[in-house]
Amino acid sequence: MTKSRSERSRWPSSAESALFEMANLYPATTGLPMTVWVSPRGHARHDARVKVNISHGKRMDIDQTAVVAIRPTPRLVEGSLSSADLAAVSEWIRRNEAALIDFWDGAIDTAELVGRLVKV
């Protein structure tokens, strides 16, 4: 059965799907001073990463993020963070690498991810 144009327009694009799949993790959950986004692999061609809001607080502005790779060791791959913020995010990633990778691989859902996270 072929979907009509109006039915197709209700389905999110792959970019919208990627944003929909991301989990916002606020400072109260992570112990970090800023919000972090994590996501499952989806159709990504890169390895596991997190997006980090550049500003401190509970805000998340997708245009104001830095990207930090998880493996083989945490490192900044896009955007900019202060050295203190990068150090804090890197420590959080190291403490939570197994849970973040399980979420990336689709082995756990968001609820289990949050339950396994350790604050910095």
pLDDT in tens, 13-37: 444 444 446 799 999 999 999 999 9
pLDDT at 49 over 80: yes
Torsion, Cα of 16, 109, 35, 76 (10° steps) = -80
Considering only CA atoms, which of 40, 61, 44 is closest in space to residue 52?
61
pLDDT at 57 over 70: yes
Amino acid in the structure at residue 15: A
Exposure of 73 by Cβ count < 10 A (0-12 exposed, 13-18 middle, 19+ buried)? exposed
Residue 2 lies in a domain: no
pLDDT digit string, tens, across residues 69-87: 999 999 999 999 999 999 9
Residue-number span of the structural domain to which 66 is assigned? 12-116
- Say how many domains are in the chain: 1
Please give the pLDDT value at position 90: 98
Tokens 């997190």: give the residue.
50
Residue 1 lies in a domain: no
What does the mean pLDDT of the chain come to? 87
Residue 6 lies in a domain: no
